[in-house]
């Protein structure tokens, strides 16, 4: 899953910074960097947030119960499956496959 792949390593996307950003690049030290990054507790919260993301087209809470809404969800999932197949077909035979936009790797989120 894309966001988790990127965000699981906390320095890529720290949930909080404990010190203000430096005003001068030359004054940055390893100690300053470590003091700025979130502590273990804050990092665990951030890690869990990205780990628990729900994939695009999945609605585990079952808020949608009307027949028409369920039909639309089914249609959306079928369209996502077609898109995934097209992307995989385009990647066939490539040494370096581009998988970041596979619907099965995208979270159901507005932050992407």
Domain locations in the chain? 1-53, 56-112
Contact predicate 107/56, CB 8 Å:
yes
pTM: 0.59
Q: Phi/psi of residue 107, each to 5°? A: -80, 150
Q: What tokens appear for 40 in the block?
A: 């273990």
* Sole residue written with tokens 């119960």: 65
Max CA-CA distance within the chain? 62
Q: Is 7 exposed, middle or buried (0-12, 13-18, 19+ CB in 10 A)?
A: buried
* Sole residue written with tokens 């950003």: 21
Mean pLDDT of the chain: 85
* pLDDT over 90, % of the chain: 35
Sign of CA dihedral 38, 42, 44, 48: negative
pLDDT exceeds cutoff 70 at 111: no
Going by pLDDT thresholds of 50, 70 and 90, the confidence category of residue 79 is very high
Contact predicate 36/19, CB 8 Å:
yes
Q: Is 50 exposed, middle or buried (0-12, 13-18, 19+ CB in 10 A)?
A: buried
Per the document, the length of the chain is: 112
Going by pLDDT thresholds of 50, 70 and 90, the confidence category of residue 101 is confident
């Amino acid at each position: 899953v894309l966001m988790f792949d990127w965000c699981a390593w906390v320095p890529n996307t720290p949930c909080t910074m404990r010190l203000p950003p430096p005003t001068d690049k030359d004054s940055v030290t390893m100690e300053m960097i470590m003091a700025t990054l979130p502590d273990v507790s804050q990092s665990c919260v951030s890690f869990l947030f990205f780990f628990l993301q729900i994939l695009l087209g999945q609605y585990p809470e079952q808020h949608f119960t009307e027949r028409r809404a369920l039909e639309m969800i089914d249609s959306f999932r079928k369209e996502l499956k077609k898109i995934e197949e097209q992307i995989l077909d385009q990647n066939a035979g490539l040494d370096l496959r581009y998988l970041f936009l596979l619907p099965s790797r995208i979270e159901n989120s507005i932050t992407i």
